[in-house]
Amino acid sequence: MLQIRVLNDDDVKRLLDLDALIEGLADGFRALTLGEVSAPPRNGVDVPGGFLLSMVAHAPRHPMGVKLVSVFHDNARVGLPGHLALISLFDERTGAPTAVMNGTYITAMRTAGGAALSTRLLARPDSRTLAIVGAGVQGESHLRMVTRVRGFTAIRIASASLDDARRVAALDPRARAMASAEGAVKGADVVCLCTNSATPVVQREWLSPGTHLTSVGYRPPGSEVARDILADARIFVESRQAAYAAPPAGCAELAGLDPEAGAELGEVLLGHRPARQTALELTLYKSMGHAMEDLVAAHLVHERAKHDGAGTMVAL
């Protein structure tokens, strides 16, 4: 009889080592660029109010994994996160299911982990001011993850709701809520866009020379990133194929851009393409999310769970 480990949200939050996650993602991005990750383009179904996506992957020294993630932007009205996810792992030798876990926290932290890794690779070493635009789940996760890779002394949080900005700012003594995105972004060294906006939330003229910008918003066919920012920035992505394909596999805002003009984080990590080239360069990490990231995070959780005897074993 099959035995499967079930891990709830509290289990996942307790077991996921966030520093190990950043290092695991770096290894995963290298493997992705080297062609060692098997991950077909994600697919999905649309329903009134949202959509459901399926993301499958396998990487060396990992099990097989699949994430089902739903995106319903109006979920706050019913007290639920806008993104909800379930992740299952399968033994790569037998195909037997080994674990099912809540994937909502993993989705938040691996997304912010990619932004943090891009900041480590691309932000100026002397970066001291961080601006986060968006005070939902991703605003919180970016505050926890991006601050791990640079010695920020000032953090500014902006949101459509000042109360939400204040709530997130209260999580870090260096942070303060700002009344506008413009006030948060002007003069910042690193700017993280964490909204679900279908229209741009910052303007090009607000960004100082040498800014590193990250964007994780996904609201096709629109974008939280302005076209003139995309035109001026050196763009970095998780996977060139995923970034420049049509939604839901890719992101609408990069449609029509030259895929070879951008670089994968894995290419930077491997030394195949340069990171930041000048102190004045505008760099942009545009995240679409990749199944490899979910697999890396879920594998870390499952390995720790096995070691600790965590979760609930269920006979199937």
End-to-end CA distance of the chain: 7
In percent, how much of the chain has pLDDT > 70?
Answer: 100
Q: Is 126 helix (H, G, I), strand (E, B) or coil?
A: coil
pLDDT digits (tens, 9 = 90+) for 28-75: 999 999 999 999 988 999 999 999 999 999 999 999 999 999 999 899
Residue 245's pLDDT is 79
Chain-centroid distance of CA 244 in Å reads: 17
Residue range 164-183: average pLDDT?
98
Is the per-residue pLDDT at 83 higher than 90? no
pLDDT at 259: 73
Rounded Cα–Cα distance for residues 77 and 162 (Å): 18
SS3 135: coil
Average pLDDT over residues 209-221: 92
Dihedral sign, Cα of residue 133, residue 67, residue 73, residue 285: positive
- Helix, strand, or coil (residue 178): coil
Q: Does the pLDDT value for residue 244 go beyond 80?
A: no
Say which DSSP state 17 is in: -
CA distances from 137 to 76, 132, 315 (A): 11, 12, 33
Angle between the N-to-C axes of helices 104-122 and 137-146, in degrees from 0 to 180, rounded to the nearest 10? 40
Backbone angles phi and psi of 312, in degrees to 5: -120, 125
Q: Is 77 exposed, middle or buried (0-12, 13-18, 19+ CB in 10 A)?
A: exposed
Q: Which CATH class is domain 3-106+292-315?
A: alpha beta
Residue 254 pLDDT greater than 90, yes or no:
no
Helix, coil or strand: residue 91: coil
Residue 119: is its pLDDT beyond 80? yes
115-289, what's its fold? Rossmann fold (3.40.50)
Over range 143-166, report the average pLDDT.
97
Vertex 293 angle, CA 291 and 295, to 5°: 70
In angstroms, the Cα distances linking 295 to 138, 163, 202 are: 19, 35, 32
Nearest Cα to 118, choosing from 262, 17, 260? 262
- pLDDT confidence of residue 270: 98
Question: What single letter denotes the amino acid at residue 7?
Answer: L
Amino acid at 27: D
Cα dist. 7→24, 190, 304, 312 in Å? 20, 35, 11, 7
Q: Tell me the torsion sign for CA atoms 119, 276, 212, 123.
A: positive
φ and ψ at residue 50, rounded to 5 degrees: 180, -160
pLDDT at residue 255 greater than cutoff 80? no
Q: Supply the angle between the helices 18-33 and 137-146 in degrees, to the nearest 10.
A: 90
Average pLDDT on 218-242 reads 90
pLDDT for res 70? 95
pLDDT tens for 180-199 read: 999 999 999 999 999 989 99
Task: Using DSSP, state whether 274 is helix, strand or coil.
Answer: coil
Beta-strand relationship, 3-7 and 97-102: parallel
Parts of the chain belonging to CATH 3.30.1780.10? 3-106+292-315
Average pLDDT over residues 250-270: 86
Residue 150 above 80 pLDDT?
Answer: yes
